[in-house]
Amino acid sequence: MNPNKALWEKGDFTRLAQTMRESGDELVESLNVQPGMDVLDLGCGDGTTALPSAFRGAKVLGVDIASNLVAAGQARAREAGLTNIRFQEGDASKLDAIADDSFDLVVSMFGAMFAPRPFDVAREMVRVTRRGGRIVMGNWIPGDPTLIARILQTCALYTTPPPEGFVSPISWGVEDSVRERFTAAGVRDDDIRCERATYTFRFPGPPSAFLDVFRSYYGPTMNAYEAAASTGREADLHTELTQLFERENRGDANHSEIAATYLKVMVDR
- pLDDT tens by residue, 190-202: 999 999 999 999 9
Contacts of 77 (CB under 8 A, 6+ apart): 47, 51, 54, 85, 86, 87
Pick the CATH number of 3-268 from 2.60.200.30, 3.40.50.970, 3.40.50.150, 1.10.10.60: 3.40.50.150
Q: What's the average model confidence in pLDDT over 63-90?
A: 97
Domain boundaries, the chain: 3-268
pTM of the model: 0.94
pLDDT score at 1: 62
pLDDT number for residue 253: 86
